[in-house]
Structure 1
């Protein structure tokens, strides 16, 4: 993996455009999961919304607002991996308080296409896990498109276990 990569939580609305461009440039339809359809980022399991860029930019601004909130760890935050001002990876993380535990949901984990398979995804995932543990959270959940097998390999290597299968039927 390349050296001098900075991991940090985004708290600047000005990063919305760059992050939205990064997201759109680095995901294929194999990335689409049920939450992308539920949130309107995708219109079908194999088709992104034409509003994907705008929706991601809005989510970045929302994440920055949540991160800037004083004394509050809630909502969605954006973790980034940056080298020399260049965005190499990102992940949206939702913080939740359950009855039995405090947990996070890894909503997205995206690594720049030409940086994949070099350890950056593992490093970003481990940084997020350590940060969340330090904030008092004890579990991380995620879901992934059934065809995103390379991501599944990463998640299994990093200790994730398959808990369920999500199904959908159009009405």
Structure 2
């Protein structure tokens, strides 16, 4: 009888433990899912901010006469109360609105510090523009204190200092102080030995001793990747040829990396999962992956993302990887050119400037 009750107690305990494990597993899975959803949402929010800035640049290109009073010293300012003054004021406010959003995103950790540093350059350009003070005086109370402090400090520096480089350096330092963003501090200062100098010296030494891999560009082909059996090899291509300097805020946001210097432990599994999902067809091609193959081996890949906005569909070049054995052969440029020509032929999709302009940066690929 005692053994019978003992068996019942053990069974109850096992049931309780099983229930506890099931609940814990569910909670952890939900937490991971929410974290991934938040990363994806943050990425989409940031993309919308970038697209808004691109729209503003296009507006500037189409309305040179309207923006001249802000940027050109010898241009007559429109008289207050006129339609011209109102239109130019609205243009200035568009920039200030974006600045305010960028500051809020930085405070909420949506905008990474290094990306925010590139926005501070735009802050500086506007605050030192000849016509800005007139428009700012009428509009400054429409903005949050952080932006007011930053722009007022920029105007004060401009009035007190005569050296443009000193103004720029102190402005970055002040923004760093206000927003507690250390990366912005010293943004415009370079040491005597830059990363480019180190790279150039090392590259010279490597080229002297490195055996050049035979490569015939006429035998290389670029096309869509659709074969799921190639996924493991593509993941290895990414891992072996994407060192720590490839890591950006995007890799950290989506969980590929745990810091700007270290990939996640499960990076192989993550990339295989991403590449499998990328094999699904899109309205603009049989998959989201483009590969360069040579002698029955993939030596380069591009991962594309498509996003629909009110202005239409946009394609973003998410990743580009080239086998280190075949770099300095313009392979990356050839792949990007293939992609952009394909997107242009579609007609109904836009390609972001940062995708096409990357061709100018691929001389080492």
Of residues 55, 79, 90, the one that matches 2:290 is 79
Does residue 338 of structure 2 align to residue 127 of structure 1?
A: yes
Shift in Å, 1:98: 1.6
Counterpart secondary structure, 2:229: helix
Does residue 358 of structure 2 align to residue 155 of structure 1?
A: yes
Shift in Å, 1:16: 0.8
- Cα deviation, 1:65-103, whole Å, max 9, x if unaligned, reads x22x6xx349x7111000121111001000122212321
Computed over aligned residues only, the root mean square deviation of the Cα atoms, in angstroms, reads 2.3
Q: TM-score, normalised by structure 2?
A: 0.37
1:141 and 1:155 map into 2 onto residues whose CA distance is 8
- Cα deviation, 1:30-74, whole Å, max 9, x if unaligned, reads 00011111111101111101111111111111011x22x6xx349
Of residues 257, 273, 288, the one that matches 1:42 is 257
Contact 1:90/1:111 (8 A) holds in 2: yes
Shift in Å, 1:117: 1.4
Question: Paired residue for 2:351?
Answer: 139
Q: Which has the higher strand share?
A: 1
1:56 and 1:126 map into 2 onto residues whose CA distance is 24
Question: Paired residue for 1:109?
Answer: 320
Contact 1:103/1:141 (8 A) holds in 2: no
* Structure 1 segments (4+ residues) deviating >3 Å: none
Contact 2:336/2:359 (8 A) holds in 1: no
Q: TM-score, normalised by structure 1?
A: 0.76
1:142 and 1:23 map into 2 onto residues whose CA distance is 21
Distance 1:98 1:80, change over 3 A: same
Q: Which has the larger radius of gyration?
A: 2
Distance 1:38 1:112, change over 3 A: same
Q: Which has the higher helix share?
A: 2
Counterpart secondary structure, 2:288: strand
Query: Structure 2, unaligned stretches of length 5 or more?
Result: 1-215
Question: Paired residue for 1:17?
Answer: 232
Q: How many residues align?
A: 144
Counterpart secondary structure, 1:118: coil
Question: Paired residue for 1:164?
Answer: none
1:50 and 1:107 map into 2 onto residues whose CA distance is 21
2:359 and 2:226 map into 1 onto residues whose CA distance is 30
Distance 1:61 1:141, change over 3 A: farther
